Each structure stands twice: as structure tokens, then as C-alpha cells.
Chains A and B, each alone.
Chain A
Amino acid sequence: MSTLIIPGDSIPINQKSEQLIGPGLHIDLNTKEIIPINSGLLQNGNKSIHIESNSKRYIPQTNDYVIGTVTGSFGDIFRVSLSNFSSSVSLSAMAFPNASKKNRPNLKVGSLIYARVSNADPIVDIEIECIDPTTGKDGGFGLLEDGFVFDVNLAFARNLLFDANHPILKLLVQKCKFEIAIGLNGKIWIKTDDLKYTLACSKSIQNCQSVTSTRFKEIINTVFKELGL
């Protein structure tokens, strides 16, 4: 169930149930009142409640999956840029599977990495890591080689990452096989065997982000046709 909420609305919430407060909602510590601070669709699940809305600037949150560009390395720390015109975050050289002082990951300036935000405390530097904390293995994180990266809006990226049955990916799979990494910072990395297919996939995803799902097929077909595929 989802209703449109704007800041100042009262939240229809069951006070007895235990629910996690997600993005877009704020608890006034004195009155214990829940106040919406964003406008968007209220997502009221069993265990959690949050407001789904789109925003322009990406603000890192713990456990977000992100795609970043390495901008430099200082000692054991790599600086990684998650979005243009905002502060970079740090990636420790030890935050890789099997990393040690001797076995250092080889990341050049400009390399793309897929990582998880491990610490998003606003007071200290934001940290990301390329390791799955539950298994200690890479878990799909790490260096992204070749392919192409492009920007989409933040809500769309979130949608695409959390919805495993998203119609776009289902439709694209019928056209070609591809590898994809979706970053919640609004970046999507895609790689196929052929440059034209990569471009077609990226264009399709970009063009689909602002239309309803009924038009996806039509858009994907036109994009592929334009590139002669």
C-alpha cells in the first residue's frame, strides 16, 4: 500500500507494532512523533516504513551498494568519488578479500569499483569496502573492468536494484546477455560482448527511466533498431 505524503502530513502508523523507520521520516526525540521530511510515496511494510522519493544528490547511507571512480591513493587508502561535485569517500586497501600489507589491490586512478558503504557516519570520513562482511569473500564487489558506466536518477537505480523482476532487465535479457552492476548512487555499469550492444543497453535503460513500464518494450526496440541491431 502506498499513499502520497508531503512534509507535515500525519503518518498512518500502528503504534503497537515494531517498525523500522526508513528514509524520509524523522522521529522527534522529545515527543516521540514521526514526522515526514520528504514528499513521496509512503511504503508501509510489515517491518519497516519509509517514504519513497527521488532526489538529486546522493547521500551515502550504510549498506548502500555503490559504483565509484578511484581518484587517488594515499598510503593504504584510496579516495573514491561516488558522484560529481561532492566529497570523495575512502576505501581502505585492506577492505578487499584476502588483502594484506603485501597483497595490495592494484587500482589505478580512474578505475571503477563496485562497493558497499560500510560506514556512513557524517562526523568522520565515509568508508566503503569491496568485501561481503558475512562471508569475507568478494560477494560480487571489486574492480569493474571494461563496459560502460552511465547515470540514472536515484529512485530509478533503487527500483532497479531491489526489484529482481524488473521488466527492463527481463526485456533486455531477450536481446543480449550482459553483466550489470547497479549503484544506489545513480550509476549503472553494464558490459556485453559487443560495444554496440553495450551502448544499446545503456541507452535503453536511460530512456526507460522516465516512462511507465508499458512503454519499455517499444523504447528498447527503437533503441536497438537505431543502432542496427
Chain B
Amino acid sequence: MAKGIEVSINEKSFVFDALKQGIRLDGRKLEDFRNVDITLGDEYGYVDVRLGKTRVVARISAEISTPFEDRPFEGLFTVSTEISPMASAMFENQRQSDDELLISRAIEKAVRRSGALDLESLCIIAGSKCWSIRADVHFLDYDGGFIDASCIAVMTGLQHFRKNDITVSGEQIVIHSVEEREPVELSVLHVPICVTFAFFNPEGVEENIKGESNNEIYIVDTTLEEDLLKDGVLTVAVNKNREVCQISKAGGLPMDALTLMDCGRKAYDIAVELTNQIKKLLEADYKRRNEGIQYKLRAENDRITVE
């Protein structure tokens, strides 16, 4: 039983010919990122990201738990990325394929290991109580770019999320409800953005030391169709301070050092653009939440002056 996506020779040569002429099937330029459509939910920490047909939902939640014994001053942060066949029939239930593993690892590396979330700020009582933040990423539809989309979703979610305010008196913790006290935001230190590049080798000649037949083409943010035909892939996570958080290139076509530099620079431009988009969106959301009758009726207004 053939279970998978079969790509014909015709499609392959057509895509390669088009790329050589600088045309992509969806009409984008080679270095264009798809339009990112981010929607914030009514609840804090719910983010819906659409990248073309790809759709990813991230949900941030927090609970109080005990820190690891070897790290008593740090809170916990877990990212759960389980891809179900809902996204595409190419993902199987209960079984993680290599692709899935790569996606999970890339998100883990870009978001968690780059220290985007300040774990020390999650500590409540050293060694016994801390916040445990959990990011659940749900993959709803797949048309390439899962790493990029889920990175955007998790980072936007972390910035949007508010955890309940707490008061500590000795060993006692009081958790205040949202109605009682304004919830507090997480301390996000920087916003890494993943940009995935795919490499194509239309000549079919591989060279470790780049020479004559160095005609590889690289494109940004592949769709599923391009994804199936790629010869190599590179993911760069970079933030707007020009800090590269991860570079991952698992096998595939060998590439030139200059190309790598070039990709880094392109990734930076895209990251800046996306960071600004996220920032604007969060500001708009903040404004929306803090205007109107609810805002005016708040008790705080008695103490501060509002013009």
C-alpha cells in the first residue's frame, strides 16, 4: 500500500525549471516569506497563526509545581509539539517520524534553549515552589513551514500570556484570581524568529568544495510541494538584536559559507519584520482590552488620573 505523497518527474522538473527562472508556484519571489496572519484569542496566551494554508495554534498555560532539585531557583518551561494526522495524512498517530522529531527539536532549541523565557523569574520559593509554564502547540493544517509558524505562535503566546498574581507570606502562597488582581506578564527576554531555507540542486551535481557547477538555489519558507522536492534545509533562528539563536542544518546538500552568511542576513530582515508585526499586534490587543467601560469602571481609576 502506497501511503504517502508521490511526486512525479514532471512536477520535479517543472518546479526546478521555474526556480531557475526565479518563479515559484505560488507567485512569490524566491526570498519572500508568506504573509503571516496572527490572531489572538480572548483568553491570554491563545494564538492562532496562519502561514498560507499552514495553521498552527499555540496555547500557553501556567501552574504551580516544584522546581528541579539541581535548579532550585528556576521555574519550568515545556513545549509540547505533537503532530496529529489532523494536520496532514502524512503524520501518523502515536508514531513520531523523523520529520516530526526535527520539527519538535527545532522549536525546542529555538524557544527554550535560547533562553527566550526568563526561567528565574518563575521562581516563587526557592527549591519548593515555582511556576511551570507549558506551551501546547496544535498543528491544524500543513502546507510547509511548521517550524517557522510554531516558533511565531509560541513566542507571540508567551508575550501575550498573563499569569495570575501571587502573594508570598512565609511558606504560604495566595493565588489571586484575575478579577481580584491584574494578572502579570511573563518576562520574555528576547524574541527568536525561525526562518527556514530550502536548497535545490537543479544540476544534480554535488560539490563539497564549491566550484563550477555551483548553481544551487535557495528559497525561503517552502510550501509542501516545494518541501517534498528540496535537497537540503537550513533553519536559522535569529532575534532583532542580531543574535543568532540556532542554526540547524541536518544533512542534505553541502552549502557554501557565503550562502550561509547570506541566509543569516535574510533571516534577520524577516525576523525584524515579524517581530514588529507581533509587537504591533500585541499593542493593539492591549489597547483593546484596556479601553471602554470595563477600564473606566475599574477601582484603579480612582487613584490614577485619566484625562
Mark A residues whose CB is within 8 Å of B.
69, 71, 79, 81, 84-88, 108, 110-112, 144-149, 189, 195-196, 198-199, 203, 226-227
| A110 contacts B23, C-beta separation under 8 Å | no
B87 to chain A, nearest CB (A): 13
Segment 172-227 of B: residues with Cβ below 8 Å from A: none
Known: A84-B4, A87-B2. A144 touches B21 (CB 8 A): no
| B11 contacts A111, C-beta separation under 8 Å | no
Segment 1-39 of B: residues with Cβ below 8 Å from A: 1-14, 17-18, 21, 23, 25, 27
Across-interface contacts of B6 in A (CB, < 8 A): 69, 71, 81, 84, 110
Q: CB of B90 within 8 A of chain A?
A: yes
Across-interface contacts of A79 in B (CB, < 8 A): 2
Q: Which of A86, A110, A112, A199 contacts B25 (CB 8 A)?
A: A199
Tell me what chain A mostly uses at the interface: helix, strand, loop, or mixed: mixed
Across-interface contacts of B7 in A (CB, < 8 A): 69, 110
| Contacts A/B (CB < 8 Å), 17 sampled | A69-B6, A84-B6, A84-B89, A85-B3, A85-B89, A85-B90, A87-B1, A110-B7, A110-B8, A111-B9, A146-B10, A147-B14, A149-B10, A149-B11, A196-B21, A203-B27, A227-B27
Known: A85-B4, A85-B89. A144 touches B10 (CB 8 A): yes
- Which residue on chain A has the smallest CB distance to residue B27? A226
B20 to chain A, nearest CB (A): 9
- Which residue on chain B has the smallest CB distance to residue A67? B8
| B10 contacts A147, C-beta separation under 8 Å | yes
- Which residue on chain A has the smallest CB distance to residue B20? A195
| A195 contacts B18, C-beta separation under 8 Å | yes
A196, B17: Cα distance in complex, Å = 10
Across-interface contacts of B2 in A (CB, < 8 A): 71, 79, 81, 86-88
A109 to chain B, nearest CB (A): 8
| B8 contacts A146, C-beta separation under 8 Å | no
A147, B15: Cα distance in complex, Å = 10
B224 to chain A, nearest CB (A): 10
Give 7 new A-B contacts, CB below 8 A, not counting A85-B4, A108-B9, A195-B17. Answer: A79-B2, A84-B6, A85-B5, A87-B2, A110-B12, A199-B23, A227-B23
B90 to chain A, nearest CB (A): 7
| A195 contacts B8, C-beta separation under 8 Å | no
Mark B residues whose CB is within 8 Å of A.
1-14, 17-18, 21, 23, 25, 27, 89-90
Across-interface contacts of B90 in A (CB, < 8 A): 85
Across-interface contacts of A203 in B (CB, < 8 A): 27
Known: A195-B18, A226-B27. A189 touches B10 (CB 8 A): yes
B299 to chain A, nearest CB (A): 53
- Which residue on chain A has the smallest CB distance to residue B21? A195
Top 3 A-B pairs, shortest CB-CB distance: A110-B9, A88-B2, A85-B89
Across-interface contacts of B5 in A (CB, < 8 A): 84-85
A157, B179: Cα distance in complex, Å = 56
| A145 contacts B27, C-beta separation under 8 Å | no
Across-interface contacts of A189 in B (CB, < 8 A): 10
Across-interface contacts of A110 in B (CB, < 8 A): 6-9, 12
A82 to chain B, nearest CB (A): 9
- Which residue on chain B has the smallest CB distance to residue A223? B27
Q: Which of B1, B13, B23, B89 contacts A146 (CB 8 A)?
A: B13
Q: Which of B10, B17, B18 contacts A112 (CB 8 A)?
A: B10
Across-interface contacts of A88 in B (CB, < 8 A): 1-2
A88, B1: Cα distance in complex, Å = 6
| A112 contacts B9, C-beta separation under 8 Å | yes
A195, B8: Cα distance in complex, Å = 17
| A198 contacts B23, C-beta separation under 8 Å | no
B164 to chain A, nearest CB (A): 44
| A196 contacts B9, C-beta separation under 8 Å | no
- Which residue on chain B has the smallest CB distance to residue A191? B10
- Which residue on chain A has the smallest CB distance to residue B9? A110
| B10 contacts A199, C-beta separation under 8 Å | no
A138 to chain B, nearest CB (A): 18
A196, B90: Cα distance in complex, Å = 30
A163, B13: Cα distance in complex, Å = 31
Across-interface contacts of A147 in B (CB, < 8 A): 10, 14
| B1 contacts A199, C-beta separation under 8 Å | no
- Which residue on chain A has the smallest CB distance to residue B18? A195
B28 to chain A, nearest CB (A): 11
| B10 contacts A195, C-beta separation under 8 Å | no
| A148 contacts B10, C-beta separation under 8 Å | yes
A69, B5: Cα distance in complex, Å = 10
| B10 contacts A145, C-beta separation under 8 Å | yes
Across-interface contacts of B17 in A (CB, < 8 A): 195
